[in-house]
Homo-oligomer: A and B are copies of this chain.
């Protein structure tokens, strides 16, 4: 079990009972199904940078990020990575249950970006619910449809947007999420997030800095002209 960076496995009756009742399909389960979910739902803690799910690891199931953040990505045969989307606290996902969904024919990987607590309804339970309960079945495909949009947006950004637009978008969106104009981040993290090389990010941050859009320090960025950044940023203009 240590293999994938799990340091702890909590399974206290009261906690999983409370958490299970918060699942999006809970009210549609029969008493027997609720019992099954309650008895098998677990909470696991993943250390920063540890693997949550990969081709080699077991098929997880339905997951909800309770705290922390998880990155989902594709890997090429040569080891190149493409970040597809992030799951943050409160978000649900079933892509790590691809063994349960025959329509999913590609392999993704997930890793904890920081120490993360994750609720898991194991795939074996999920498979049984999917088989017998149309509401669970529908919820699984509905969640996957949401991820379909996330992935297609990533696709469009990588293939259609210029690198300055992608970096500007990343900075503006991160500022909006945190409610601050200062971001603690390395060029490496941005590069991985928008699927480019560290050197490309470094060069662009330098240009933004020279143009007075931001000030860059070691491991941090302080936006000084948000309006100009938003003008560059593709998604932001549409708001």
* Chain A residues near B (Cβ < 8 Å): 74, 76-78, 80, 82, 101, 103-106, 134-135, 137-138, 141-142, 144-149, 151-153, 155-156, 158-160, 195
- Is chain A's interface secondary structure helix, strand, loop, or mixed overall? helix
Closest to A137 in B: B138
With A134-B134, A138-B137, A138-B138 known as contacts, the answer to whether A76 contacts B156 (CB < 8 A) is yes
Contact of A160 among B76, B103, B142, B156 (CB under 8 A): B76
Query: Chain copies in the assembly?
Result: 2
Closest to A94 in B: B145
B138 touches A144 (CB 8 A): no
Query: Which interface residue of A82, A104, A149, A195 has the most chain B CB atoms within 10 A?
Result: A149
- List of B residues within 8 angstroms of A160 by Cβ: 74, 76-78, 80, 82
B148 touches A104 (CB 8 A): yes
A141 touches B134 (CB 8 A): no
A74 touches B142 (CB 8 A): no
- List of B residues within 8 angstroms of A76 by Cβ: 156, 159-160
Contact of A153 among B80, B101, B106 (CB under 8 A): B106
Closest to A80 in B: B160
A237–chain B nearest beta-carbon distance, Å: 10
| Complex CA–CA separation, A74 to B155 (angstroms) | 10
6 closest residue pairs by CB, A with B: A141-B141, A76-B160, A148-B148, A138-B138, A103-B145, A144-B145
